[in-house]
Structure 1
Amino acid sequence: MVKLAMYSLLIVITFFGVGAFSGKLFVKFPDREQREEKLMWIFLTFLMMYFASGFCIQMITGHKGFSLSLVETITMQKIAPIAGLFLCAAVIFALEIPAAGLLKKGMEKQKSMLISAGVSVVSAVILFVWKRAALTELVIGGKNFTILGILVFGIFYYAGFYLVYKRTQERAKVQPVSLKKEESLWKQKVGAFAKKHPLLCYMICYTGGFLVLVVIVFSTMILSNKALVWKIDAMPQYFPYLKYMAKFLRESVVSMLHGDFNLKMYDFTIGMGEDLRSVVRTYPTNFLGVFVPDRYMEVFYNFLMVLRYYLAGLAFTAYCRYRKKPWIPTCIVSYVYIFSGYIMCLGIRHPIFTAPLIYLPMLLIALDRLITDRKVLMYSLFVGISMFTNYYFLYINTVAMGVYALIRFAQTYKKDKVKEFFAMMVRIILSYLLGCCMGAVSFLPTIVRTLNSDRVGLSNAKIATDNLLFYYIQRPGKILAGLISNSYVPEYDSCLGFVALMVPALVVFFLNKKKEERGLKGIIILEYIALLVPFCAFAMSGFSTISNRWVYIVTFTLSYMMVLVFDDLRSLSKIQVIILCVVTVAYYPICKYMIEDNVMESETTFRMLVGAVLLILLINCMKKITKMQYYTAMMVFIVVSLAVHGRMLYDIGGVVDTFMYNGSISVKFERSPYLFFTDISDDNFYRVDTSSTDDEFENTGLVLDYNGVSMYNSVINKGMVKYHKDLDSIGISAVHRIYSFDNRTALEALANVRYYMIRKEFTQNLPYGFSKYKDYSTKAHEYTIYKNDYPLSIGYTYDKYIDSEEYEKLSAIEKQQVMLEAAVLDTKNVKSLAKGDTRSVSDKIKYGTVTVKDTDGVIVKEDRIRSKKEESTLTLSYEKKKGYEAYLMIDGMTTKKARIKAKISTDDMEKNIVIRNNDLTYALGRDSYLINLGYSDTSESEDVTFTIPIKAKINYSDVKVCYVPMDDYVSQIEERNEESLQNVLTDKNNEVSGNVTLSSDKVMVFSIPYSSGWKAYVDGKETSVFRANTMYMGINLTKGSHKVVLRYNSPGLHLGMMASAAGIIIWILLAVASKKKKQKGNQ
């Protein structure tokens, strides 16, 4: 009953307020034409109250205030008694204009006003309740309450109308002339200042509006105390990289000030050791981090996110002003551009995705100047900056510039087209190449790394679609639905998400017959077709995957189109009005059936479109509305639309939950158990590992400054990926994500892991040959760090080898064990080593069977298992063997689910295994998994439980257990260490050195991932470095004592520096020559 009383009070206040507004309006402005401009503001006010009330009702009472759509109300599927009251009030004032216009001119003013208001009320009520206009039904707490809708509405409406009408009629006075003069004088001063300083005024207005919109759009984030740091990628990647880059820049500046120009290019805290280019991202804004202390890095990250949005709007402004478009429409639409779905969905997650929105407009300005005025300097400069920042988006922008150049050429040149075309192409190509040279210092090292990764072609993953010509039958409709929906994103990153005004703008644009707009119409049509063809996404992604990240080009195109028609929306022709209404009606089934998985989103999307069309029709009905009033109305609606988009996406859509809390990011690293690794005191080079690196913590070594083995990076050394795949390791989940070596004793030793951390209760997660080092604890768990009793040096030697081709024929467990006895090499790199025997390794490995002991929510069949509920379990039983390390071998395991993270546990062990759909991007293309069950010093049966978190079907072909004896392990390690690298020094930038004495010719393998950037020097003479043991580096050494030095230079860096230096010098010379030519021309 309390809720019923609240709703009743809301109804009374609403109806009474509407009547009061009407009464005051009619008294103050008795003529209809005088009321028109006021009506529009009241309409907008009630429209905003409508959305606000929906949100408030949802938060306070749990009632879905937005779940009742306009069209469903009209068709009597539902009735909107709550938030719909405000929309009803808005429609009343919208309908008052045409209602009053239908009355006879000779009718008395007072009577005209009353009839006009009455017509509006009745029309609005009938519009919203249709056949049951007399009754309005409220559903509260599961109970139905019926009220006399028209009666209640009429009573309180007219009560408010007459009360205010009578009281204000007597008090209505004409505004003093002096005030009008003062107001007019103030407007004149503002207008004069704006004419004198248009850019300054624009910047003030744009900046103020931008800051307000940032607060409104991200209000959910602000109220939830969330940072703009995405848990999935920003937390483990972008934030650590930014923090590391700032530290690197500060250290580099200090080093150079002290005369040391040997800057760091390699760091062992990056995964198992990587080039700094893997984490130092050369985004121009990131260089500001040199001035920011570590304690403010989270604030700085948020600042950079907002700064990029701000710069994107300025870049769009620059293009529009270059094309001589009006200031105010440009400013308003720049907000549409900034807060489009591309930025709000993708840009907020991946900061670099905002960069092309900045560079594309500037590149097009520069290209346009080159085509029309033959000025090459600006074009080369922005190509260089784009290349320096990110070559991937420059590649996409290059395609866009090619299309743009053809259209602008056709518009600019009318004579000698063939000659001018080839001359233009030569200028563009040469200028483009000059820009590429200027950015080569960043591009060449990056492209070398990319080519040395599994990201090129994604050869291990299939293209995630049936063909490259068409996605699916619903795709065209889904793209149209996603055009004005921000929280609904069609598959393959097809983020559009504009305000609803984009639909009327498109209708008007395509109905215009201006010749200069034909090229843009063609581009928009081509872009829509491209969104329907998978091959376009494949090509625009560098022929690596199906992704429409190029959709920011559509964002730019449609935003510019809206600027072109912005003023046309206030003066529509009859045919434009009719077609706009038809399109609006047709959009309902598109929203209804294309966004079928989110009813609230589909209804809100259509409702915003109806609001946009009502506003435009209302403005077109008003005869005396000024341009400034029109701009204000449109800006208000866009603000409301963006507020709704932000709310629907981040709050109702649940996206806010995927972002980190302010102040929690650095603390999360510093309070994690991985901090205990920094307490280790050891002067030797070593690495650390743990039984299961958690998501978000793969790059913790980078933040806390220790040498680990985990890594999360867009580009990972393909040797590392192949190493894990060959060994069926569960320590890797994708081509860009490595967690650990799964406590596999041999792999931990070969990786130079000297310290290992486990949860205290999970002793079975510990590799063989480790003893307790120290205990630690957090609020949640207790941990123990163990020390390797048989650690290998960073450089260990072999006197035997296994040919790579023979190695590939072995099973995963055989590959692991053979590397303890012989180096895996290509035959061409072998000089004087004996060939190893793989049979002795294979003969020592034993195999056993597993049985199904218990299931809970799992159906087990001969070739598959089906999880019928969340957190279902499958328990297997096997026999442990004393003195052996046991492994569970699963072959043919696949799933159609995108990703399943299952838990594997025993009484003394717990770890995770990630199973991915091999048809999707970044998958490893694997179906075999080797899970370490740990070393046992007893022979007994043990249960292994799989916990599957979701409903899923998992296929498999075979499951068994293999046993690796550990009795030879110590002797194998001692043999590798017998003549290993001693007196190892790694404290000098980009260098590893040590001494070794050999009794015979051997090959030395370094536990450093292979890279062409490493050069080896033995006794001062360079020797060849080759790939060994799939992932690591090796060199040949002869008998005797040697001084071994490894030095690293970023591959491609020196060539890139020379190319950039040459490009910059040429650009400066051209700039000087251009300036002199200009001065000579002026004289």
Structure 2
Amino acid sequence: MLIGFIAGSLLMTGRSMVWELDGFAQHYPILVQLRHMIAAFLTNPSQGFTHWSWHISLGSDQLTNLSYYVIGDLFNYLVILFPKNHLEMAFAFLVFLRMYVSGLAFMLYTSTYQFKKISRIIGALAYAFNGYALSTGLHHPFFILPLIFFPLLCYGIDRVLLNKSWLPLALAVFLTLFANFYFAWILAIGTFIYLIIRLLSRRKAGDFHFWQSVGKMALAVILGLGMSAVVFLPTALFATKSTRIHQAFANGMVFFPPEYYLKMPSAILPTGRAMNFWLVIGISSLSFLGVIYTLKHFKKYRWQNIGLIVALIGILIPAFGAIMNAVSTPSNRWFLLANIIFGLATMALVDHLDQLTKNDIAWLTGAGTLLIIIVWAANGFILNLKAHDAVTYGFLLLTVIALLITFIFKWQPWIKVGLILVLFMLNLAANIIGIYSPNASSLAIQQLNRGLATRFSKDYYNGAQQYVKQQSGFFRTSMAPRYHYNEHLQNLANYTNTNTDLSINSGINNTSVYLTLQNGYLGKFSRSVGNSQFSMNTPIAQGDYRTAFNNLLGVRYVFAKANTKKPPMVPYGYHLVKNANGQPKVFQAKARVNAVPAIENMAGTVIYKTNNALPLAYTQFKTFSTNAYNRLNPVNRERVMTQGAVVDAKHNTQPLNYQSPSKNLDYQVQVDRSSFIDSGKKLTAYRLGILGDKNQKQLVNQPHAQVSLGANLQKTKDLLATNRMIYENNQYENRNGLKKLTTDVTGKPLQYYLKVKQPKQTKNAELYLVLSGIKQTDGTVADHNKWMANKYLLQNKLYSRLGKLNVARHSLLKPTFGGYNFDAYTTGFHNGYAQYDNDNLSNYRQIDNMVLNLGYSTKSRKRIKLNFDMVKNIKFKSVKLIAMPFNKSYDKQMQKLKQSGLNNLKVSTNQVTGQSHNDISGTLVTSIPYSSGWRLTIDGKPTKTFVVNKGFVGAKLPAGKHQIKLMYETPGLGLSKWISIFSWLIVILSISYVGVRFLLVRKSQPNNANNKQSPTNRKPLD
């Protein structure tokens, strides 16, 4: 019924279960990919299930790269039962199925203890439909898995501690490790804490045998790990070398910001809204009162309450969250484990509805009232609730009132339970509607229209991919700026395109994918050349549209929108593909019903092609040491790779004497003072609302409305003087190059320009803005309050005490976290980057250096406009403008490199073959992301590979003609397979032994059913 509310809400609004952010960008296309993998395996099992896929970025291992999402999640394999055209239905069905099974898992766990049947049902519903499950099921379907596995792990531990079989624990460990390595870490720590609590609670029991229990649990864990080794171990090895391995612990925080602690009470009941640092609580009113009940009876539920206290302390400390989040960012996603305690507390209250005392009722009533008071106080003594939140607190009051009435009038037990059950179910239904209905939540609006995911996946390139697939040879593709740009999103990780995995099912090799686990070597390469589009999820993207970058990676075709007013900015050497009549070859968008232009490409597609894209494998006859490489700036690092192979010192056998063709451009920092308030006339224009208008001076000199310049004259003069001083000091700081971007007395950023002194040097070149030693200063609460006071003073408006209080409240409850946007504009192109807030737990990294490609142009560019926002100032150690020429000389160089490519190159799953044909020895250079899984043979003889160009497979190549063969096998997979087979054999033999023994005992004792002992009266965790 409750799932019916979810499905019904989506049906009424025409929405699907696919979220327009990660659901559309990751989960849905990866599920489509999995279905294709399953179908291919069933068609030809001898080819294996997972492979090296060339359709995932520059090439990726399906097992390790996709294991975070689908490989180990057994629910996903049901997708093969659904037709291709109904995968959105499969997506939703799998979410609902996981939620249902999480409730069953909780029921199994509670079967160890003595609860009434109705209590267990209510507890399971509270557990399955908690705020975490409802919100993450909407956005990240597999995040429901730990809600299934944690009860199974706890059940397995209980079975062992009660001298039962270790097999349930072994199977639970297998499922956990097999499904998702990330949640396995969280569950391992949570299960260990649960184990400690259970050991302490059982220590005095007469039937407790410590060493026997520890031995059985160790055996179960070892066998569970062994059974899952085929997926878990290769993935764990890959994760240690991924782009995410180097991060500041807890984002450098010792404590969370004050607003986090102030918002915690508001997160207890309302569902669906993750607080900063991924804290999601959102329990039902009955569960909240259950927690109060168990706390009131602390001794009776001692160990359960200790577990709750540990969890509550954990969410107060960033370090605890960071440890739970794989020793990285301070994410409190782990708090999902506390739902098992909330479920137990719910059952405890329902079990004792007949035994509630006057004191219990007083506690429950007082706690409900106190929670609302605390929420009011923590929100700055304003109870400005959203409509759905008001309903949520209304159900809390109704539940308290129901308990009061049933207690006062001493209703029959079945009436009490029935009334509480009705209110409980209505509460859960209201929570669901509060998330899944667009009338109550913005979350529902973020769900894609039904059918859009299916349609857009098929029409992602408007059919242009079919033309590209017909072209010969191995090559890669990319896209021009704003080819796929979801206007509903901020697109902070990639300023000019939305990062997505939609291309992996297109049959072409696109450079960009959006995955949690990415090859760390790609990250090293991308960051070494200063790719502004680098993020941990998307290390390559479109390579910031840089010419040499894309040529090195073999990008032959670039997709761009057709029918645009201006041609897109594409790298040097890329030209429109045209029809025989000389007109651009346009792939028109298909007509569609209920189009969503903010997401879909309605303009059609054109293709740009270059002849400078390098082959997958070629030979460089010069080498360049990594030490010398590191001394170059990022722009020259990219260019040097076109002239020689970047290798470690021991492989630097043919040193290159690199002569940089780049030019450092002189420039002057200018500030646009037209909208900068530093004089009486500009203040007049500001108050008239015409500051910055072209006819500003003319209008100011004409008769106009009264602006009262004499009001607060001295204070106003002081502010204007302060602004002039800010400008003069800033000009002095920037006299020899840009050193600081700053704000005025109201916190408004100044408008900056870099005027190029010799614009002709920017012709026929890519222009780069190279920023080094970046440090931002965030505005404090005091700064924000002062800026607002200054703004009101300049406007000559009343800044009341209430206004000051509101600003202070807003600054405290909605602070900034050091994030900002930086934009650079030049003729024909706009680029930039985003510094994420340090409360962004997926993408945060402090940006110290940045290279922005401002595009290739055959024309001069005279100045660069700079914008920033959200911070007080940004300081730089240095800011350089670099012009990198691209011309016929570069074309000749690239054509020569192409001629050294392998003859008869054949690229297939897990294999690359070809023939080298060089007169002299050199270095084999590929654009295959480096992995120890690649094995090279030359004329059948094994040859060692090494890292070339900071992130790719390379090797020494002798002179002459040679047969080259590269074969791939997932690192660690061979050994892992044997470990899994051996472990499964042990478990199967153990199950067989137990089964045979059970049958023999049953046969020898035919009346044992009559001798069955009733279970003891055990409380949870006791």
Counterpart-to-counterpart distance in 2, 1:484 and 1:683: 59
Q: Look up the match of 1:623.
A: 410
Counterpart-to-counterpart distance in 2, 1:232 and 1:1024: 42
User: Is the contact made by 1:587 and 1:606 (CA closer than 8 Å) also made in structure 2?
Assistant: no
Q: Look up the match of 2:288.
A: 503
Inter-CA distance 405–1008: structure 2 relative to 1 (3 Å threshold) = same
Offset of residue 905 of structure 1: 4.7
Q: Look up the match of 2:515.
A: 713
User: Is the contact made by 1:235 and 1:696 (CA closer than 8 Å) also made in structure 2?
Assistant: no
Q: Look up the match of 1:634.
A: 420
Offset of residue 394 of structure 1: 2.5
Greater shift after overlay, 1037-1046 or 754-763? 754-763
Inter-CA distance 449–543: structure 2 relative to 1 (3 Å threshold) = same
Q: CA RMSD, aligned part only?
A: 2.9
Report whether the alignment pairs 1:765 with 2:569.
Answer: yes
User: Is the contact made by 2:253 and 2:318 (CA closer than 8 Å) also made in structure 1?
Assistant: no
Offset of residue 588 of structure 1: 2.5
1:117-266, aligned counterparts within 5 Å? 212-217=1-6, 220-256=9-45, 260-266=46-52
Inter-CA distance 942–632: structure 2 relative to 1 (3 Å threshold) = farther
Offset of residue 490 of structure 1: 3.6
Offset of residue 1002 of structure 1: 0.4
Offset of residue 1017 of structure 1: 1.1
Report whether the alignment pairs 1:297 with 2:83.
Answer: no
Counterpart-to-counterpart distance in 1, 2:619 and 2:539: 30
Instruction: Please say which structure displays the higher CA radius of gyration.
Output: 1
Offset of residue 857 of structure 1: 7.2
Q: Look up the match of 2:96.
A: 306
Inter-CA distance 918–340: structure 2 relative to 1 (3 Å threshold) = closer
Report whether the alignment pairs 1:1024 with 2:944.
Answer: yes
Offset of residue 488 of structure 1: 4.9
User: Is the contact made by 1:385 and 1:439 (CA closer than 8 Å) also made in structure 2?
Assistant: yes
Cα distance per residue 1:402-447 (max 9 Å; x no partner): 3333343444453789x93122212111111011000111101211
Cα distance per residue 1:317-376 (max 9 Å; x no partner): 122233232221221222211221111223432112100111111222222112212411
Cα distance per residue 1:579-606 (max 9 Å; x no partner): 3333233222211133459721465554
1:31-70, aligned counterparts within 5 Å? none
Offset of residue 678 of structure 1: 3.2
Match of 2:432 among 617, 625, 646: 646
Q: Look up the match of 1:135.
A: none
1:150-549, aligned counterparts within 5 Å? 212-217=1-6, 220-256=9-45, 260-277=46-63, 278-279=65-66, 280-412=70-202, 414=204, 420-456=209-245, 458-459=246-247, 461=248, 463-464=250-251, 466-467=253-254, 470-472=255-257, 478-512=263-297, 515=300, 517-549=301-333
Offset of residue 698 of structure 1: 2.7
User: Is the contact made by 1:591 and 1:606 (CA closer than 8 Å) also made in structure 2?
Assistant: no
Counterpart-to-counterpart distance in 1, 2:285 and 2:751: 47
Q: Look up the match of 1:703.
A: 505
Offset of residue 942 of structure 1: 4.1
Partner AA of 1:848 in structure 2: D
Normalising by the residue count of structure 2, what TM-score does the alignment of the two structures yield?
0.79
Offset of residue 251 of structure 1: 0.5
Inter-CA distance 286–421: structure 2 relative to 1 (3 Å threshold) = same
Report whether the alignment pairs 1:955 with 2:955.
Answer: no
Inter-CA distance 620–846: structure 2 relative to 1 (3 Å threshold) = same
Offset of residue 250 of structure 1: 0.4
User: Is the contact made by 1:369 and 1:375 (CA closer than 8 Å) also made in structure 2?
Assistant: yes
Q: Look up the match of 1:583.
A: 367
Q: Look up the match of 1:1046.
A: 966
Q: Look up the match of 2:834.
A: 914
Report whether the alignment pairs 1:677 with 2:596.
Answer: no
Normalising by the residue count of structure 1, what TM-score does the alignment of the two structures yield?
0.74
Counterpart-to-counterpart distance in 2, 1:1009 and 1:826: 17
Q: Look up the match of 1:742.
A: 544
Q: Look up the match of 1:558.
A: 342
Offset of residue 511 of structure 1: 2.5
Greater shift after overlay, 1073-1082 or 292-301? 1073-1082
Match of 1:849 among 643, 667, 672: 667
User: Is the contact made by 1:484 and 1:496 (CA closer than 8 Å) also made in structure 2?
Assistant: yes
Cα distance per residue 1:451-489 (max 9 Å; x no partner): 111222x43x4633531xx43556666434322222554
Counterpart-to-counterpart distance in 1, 2:609 and 2:127: 56
User: Is the contact made by 2:375 and 2:383 (CA closer than 8 Å) also made in structure 1?
Assistant: no
Partner AA of 1:510 in structure 2: L
Inter-CA distance 710–873: structure 2 relative to 1 (3 Å threshold) = farther
Counterpart-to-counterpart distance in 1, 2:199 and 2:174: 23
Report whether the alignment pairs 1:600 with 2:356.
Answer: no
Match of 2:891 among 970, 976, 980: 970
Offset of residue 1050 of structure 1: 1.1
Counterpart-to-counterpart distance in 2, 1:856 and 1:691: 34
Report whether the alignment pairs 1:837 with 2:657.
Answer: yes
Q: Look up the match of 1:47.
A: none
Q: Look up the match of 1:792.
A: 614
Inter-CA distance 506–764: structure 2 relative to 1 (3 Å threshold) = closer
Counterpart-to-counterpart distance in 1, 2:504 and 2:569: 24
1:914 partner SS: strand
Offset of residue 398 of structure 1: 2.5
Partner AA of 2:665 in structure 1: Y
Counterpart-to-counterpart distance in 1, 2:606 and 2:379: 51
Inter-CA distance 699–631: structure 2 relative to 1 (3 Å threshold) = same
1:592 partner SS: helix
Partner AA of 1:837 in structure 2: N
Counterpart-to-counterpart distance in 2, 1:845 and 1:508: 73
Cα distance per residue 1:688-737 (max 9 Å; x no partner): 11233535553232021210111211011111112222222122244545
1:600 partner SS: coil
- Structure 1 residue runs of 5 or longer lacking an equivalent are 1-211
Inter-CA distance 697–679: structure 2 relative to 1 (3 Å threshold) = farther
2:465 partner SS: helix
Counterpart-to-counterpart distance in 2, 1:670 and 1:952: 42
Q: Look up the match of 1:752.
A: 554
Offset of residue 576 of structure 1: 1.8
Report whether the alignment pairs 1:686 with 2:490.
Answer: no
Counterpart-to-counterpart distance in 1, 2:930 and 2:169: 39
Cα distance per residue 1:48-88 (max 9 Å; x no partner): xxxxxxxxxxxxxxxxxxxxxxxxxxxxxxxxxxxxxxxxx
- Structure 2 residue runs of 5 or longer lacking an equivalent are 486-496, 579-584, 590-600, 678-726, 735-739, 779-816, 1005-1022
Counterpart-to-counterpart distance in 2, 1:565 and 1:857: 64
User: Is the contact made by 2:153 and 2:169 (CA closer than 8 Å) also made in structure 1?
Assistant: yes
Counterpart-to-counterpart distance in 2, 1:396 and 1:924: 22
Match of 1:1006 among 906, 926, 933: 926
Partner AA of 2:267 in structure 1: G
Counterpart-to-counterpart distance in 2, 1:213 and 1:242: 25
1:711 partner SS: coil
2:912 partner SS: strand
